[in-house]
Structure 1
């Protein structure tokens, strides 16, 4: 494995922060990893280092999350913008053809990135698939609506309650604290990723349906497990892999197994 380095590259909205591990010998395509909302590339920090035995692995922060510069508040940032940030990173580092992994919001981002530049993508892995009906979307808009700051800390109580509710097997309190802290780093932009994901939800199924790439969808027992099987008939070339013993935090709690499953999926492409 290689030691992770942190750096910035220029993107459409300013600087993009990323974590990157580069092994001495590279026999596989680079892998770029896209986080859920409202998180950052820190979600993949341990994985990036431990899995980088045979390929470059990169996890960047979407514009407005982690340490990446935010886009303007108007017009609203979109999944298309987040996907463009993928190619900003690829082009800045001259990576060529790459594999992509997306987690929740990231599943939409990698689909859109592959739509934008299909010839630049090898294999795709998605962690859960947000395939929503119109009724689901209406419910999501309510669930993830913006909570203003107040002296009682209502926003932060809701965030911590969500972290607890979505806690996966093996996820320690320390892991929960780290993921909660990433919510806070997004500041008043914290809802931008959810809003972008919900707006793209009607486009996502048709985007997936048209992709010829090998797509492996991992289905942990998380808050999207009910919706994820809906992607099965949309896959031209792929499969859904049931991961019932995983939940949020699996990239740390079950890292060795996760590395094996993800690399096997990418090798199949």
Structure 2
């Protein structure tokens, strides 16, 4: 199936706090997969991954508050509010329970969605996202400390800003997006105990040169019941959750890894 063969729909869904979230749907059938991109991203930031995943199912990409085509509202960013927005979109479109895929900041939102709205999520895929703020390398945390509108002139020269400017309803809102994102990233969080209580199986995916050390990936996987014992010759002791480390990738290009689609598809199947 080629991209032009896929059914494509789009629109806006009422979320919470006055947000009207933009969504784009590709493909048909199967359990719907809702995809959440990283910070400052737009739907197009997924590259060809969504088309690959939509070959045999419906994939719905959502742009959260203040990102891309979704206009900002007078509300700070919080993990829980953004998660509640996702659940509202799922309910409005009549999709649930869905499979949920999130990358980086979108991974944090996806995780909070599964925690706060377990009935809306069948399976969860997290790409390059920790379950505690201190799961990031110290140099990444130092970079997060500097995220804000003071760095707008530098960001304005990037492809990320160009993609935003091409679709945003208010191009001048990007500095505010930087400030709100910075405030979110600087806030402390530790979702360890809530992760232990997840009922949905989880696929964790990291790069081997990620912004998150392999030790945190192993800790996160252990919270999900993975990597705690030998699975046995027949695999009967294996956790329902999975861990994948993609070689030769970093936090910034892991979502473009050609093997990611097959890893996701195998888990969701």
Both proteins in one fold, TM over 0.5: yes
**Partner in structure 2 of residue 92 of structure 1:** 92
What's the counterpart of residue 229 of structure 1? Answer: 218
Kindly indicate whether the alpha-carbon contact (under 8 Å) linking 1:219 and 1:228 is maintained by their aligned counterparts in 2.
Answer: yes
Distance apart, 1:263 and its partner CA? 0.6
Alpha-carbon RMSD: 2.9
Question: CA 1:120 to 1:206, structure 2 compared with 1: closer, same or farther past 3 Å?
Answer: same
| SS of aligned partner of 2:9 | strand
Instruction: Give the equivalent residue in structure 1 for 2:68.
Output: 66
Matched residue, 1:238? 241
Q: Give the Cα separation in 2 of the matches to 1:245 and 1:5.
A: 35
The number of residues matched between the two structures is 239
TM-score (norm 2): 0.76
Q: Does the aligned pair in 1 maintain the 2:11–2:23 contact within 8 Å?
A: yes
| 1:190-248 superposed Cα distances (whole Å, 9 cap, x missing partner) | 2423432442x523323222212111101113322454333122113423211122333
- 1:14 maps to 19
Work out the CA distance in 1 between the residues paired with 2:31 and 2:93: 13
With over 3 angstroms needed to count, the CA separation of the structure-2 counterparts of 1:104 and 1:62, relative to structure 1, is same
Mapped partners of 1:198, 1:101: distance in 2 = 23
Offset of residue 250 of structure 1: 4.2
Alignment of 1:126-205 (within 5 A): 126-130=126-130, 131-133=132-134, 140=141, 143-149=144-150, 154-157=151-154, 178-182=159-163, 186-199=174-187, 201-205=188-192
* Separation in structure 2 between the aligned mates of residue 8 and residue 86 of structure 1, nearest angstrom: 12
Residues 104 and 129 of structure 2 are in contact (CA less than 8 Å); yes or no, is this contact kept in structure 1?
yes
Aligned residues of 1:111 and 1:204 also touching (Cα < 8 A): no
CA contact (8 A) 2:97 2:121 kept: yes
Q: Distance in 2 between matches of 1:181 and 1:225?
A: 31
C-alpha separation in 2, matches of 1:111 and 1:135: 16
**What stretches of structure 1 of length at least 5 have no aligned partner?**
161-176
The two structures have a TM-score, normalised by structure 1, of 0.76
Unaligned runs of 5+ in 2: 166-170, 226-239
| Structure 1 residues 113 and 134: alpha-carbon distance in aligned structure 2, compared to 1, 3 A threshold | closer
